[in-house]
Amino acid sequence: MGREFASALARWCHLPDMPARPELVAICDRFDSLPADLGRWYTENFPSIHQATSDYKELLGNPEVEAVYCAVPHHLHQEFYCAALEAGKHLMGEKPFGIDQPANRAILEALQKHPELQVRCSSEFPFFPAVQRIGDMIEREAFGRVLEVNCGFLHSSDLDPLKPINWKRQVEFNGEYGCMGDLGMHVCHVPFRAGWRLRNVRAILSKIVMERPDGKGGVAPCRTWDNATLFCEAECGAGGAVFPLTMKTQRMAPGAKNTWYLEIYGTKASARFSTRNPRRLELLEYRGGEQSWQQVDMGQETAFKTITGSIFEFGFSDAILQMWAGFVYELATGQRRKTFAGCVTPEETALTHGLLTAALESHRRSQTVSFE
C-alpha cells in the first residue's frame, strides 16, 4: 500500500483543481531486512525523498514531515499511530485502525490530546463514481424509506489451500477479527457515513482452512476467521425507519477477486453497484407504474475533477488517487468537499470496532448482540 500511495502522489498532476500538492519527502520500512530493490523503487522514482530509514521514530523526528501515511501490519497500528500523533503529524492510518477495540480506543485517546491534527483512515471504494452517485442519492433521501441494505467485500484467493500463510492469516499480527479486521472498514464506510445506526448484530463466522504452508517447507496454523456474515438491524438515524442490513467480509468467496459491493433498496429508488463491473450503476427509480432496472455506464464523474475525459473508465488506482485528494482537500481547506468525498473519520473507526467486537461476541454466544 505504501507504493500505491507514492504512485498516487506521482500522478497528482491528474487533479487540476486541488488546493494543495503533497510531496513525498521521507519513507520508512524495514529496509535492512527487505530486498534492496524495494527501497530503490522509491528513491529512483521520487527524487524528493530526503530521508529513507528503518526506524519510524527517526522519520517522526523529521521536521520536514507534516503528514504521515502509515500502512503496517495491524499489531503495530497502536504504537505507530500514537507515536505519529505525539510527534504532531497529521495521519492517514490504515484499517482496521488498531488491531482490536482497546488499541483503537488508545489511538483515539492519543488524538484527544491533539485536536489540531487531521486523522483519517484509508478506504477507497466509496470514491468510485457510481458510489459517489449513490452517496448523493442518500444525501437527497432519494431512496424514500430504506427497505434493505446489503454490502460486502469478497476475496477468493484463499480458496487455494496451498497459498502460503502471511501475517494477514495470523491472529497475533492480523488480530482476532480475522477477515472482518482486514475487510470490514471498507464495508462500514458508506453505512456509517450515511448516518445509519446499528441496533444489533447477529454474526456467523467461519474458519475454513486450519493450516497453510509456512513458506519454509512446513505448515503453520491458520487461526483467523476466513468468512463473516453480519446480520444487523439498522435505523436511519435515531428513531428512524428500521431495516435489515447485511454485511459480508469473506476471504473464501468463490470467483470473487476483489469484489466490493453495495445494494440499497428503497420505496422510491434502489441502487446496486459492484466492483465486479466497475463502471456499471444499476438504478430503479419508482414513481408508480412499471418497475425497471436501468443500467448506467459511469465514466469519470469523480468527486475531485481529473484530466481524464468524462467517458473513460475508472479503476482501483483512480479510487486511491481520489481518496488521497479527499484527504489533502480536507487538510488544506478544513472541510470535506461533500459528505461522501471524505476518508473514514476516527469516530467511524470506533463505530466499526464496536460492530466487529460485538460480532465476535455474537458468534461466540450464538446470539444477537444489542448496541442499545
Residues that bind ligand NAD (CB under 6 A): 1, 28-30, 34, 56, 71-74, 76, 94-95, 122, 124, 182
Toward ligand NAD, which CB reaches closer, 2 or 299?
A: 2
For residues 85 and 46, what is the distance between their CA atoms, to the nearest angstrom?
A: 25
Nearest residue to the partner ligand NAD, using Cβ:
94
Please say whether the beta carbons of 226 and 251 come within 8 A: yes
Toward ligand NAD, which CB reaches closer, 71 or 296?
A: 71
Shortest Cβ distance from residue 312 to ligand NAD (Å)? Answer: 22
- Output the nine-digit C-alpha cell for 357: 467486537
Shortest Cβ distance from residue 99 to ligand NAD (Å)? Answer: 9
Shortest Cβ distance from residue 33 to ligand NAD (Å)? Answer: 8
| Measured CA distances, 371 to 223, 232, 234 (Å) | 27, 10, 10
Shortest Cβ distance from residue 343 to ligand NAD (Å)? Answer: 10
State the Cα angle at 177 between 272 and 196, rounded to 5°. Answer: 40
Shortest Cβ distance from residue 345 to ligand NAD (Å)? Answer: 16
Toward ligand NAD, which CB reaches closer, 9 or 147?
A: 9
Toward ligand NAD, which CB reaches closer, 28 or 264?
A: 28
Shortest Cβ distance from residue 71 to ligand NAD (Å)? Answer: 4
Toward ligand NAD, which CB reaches closer, 57 or 145?
A: 57
Toward ligand NAD, which CB reaches closer, 53 or 200?
A: 53
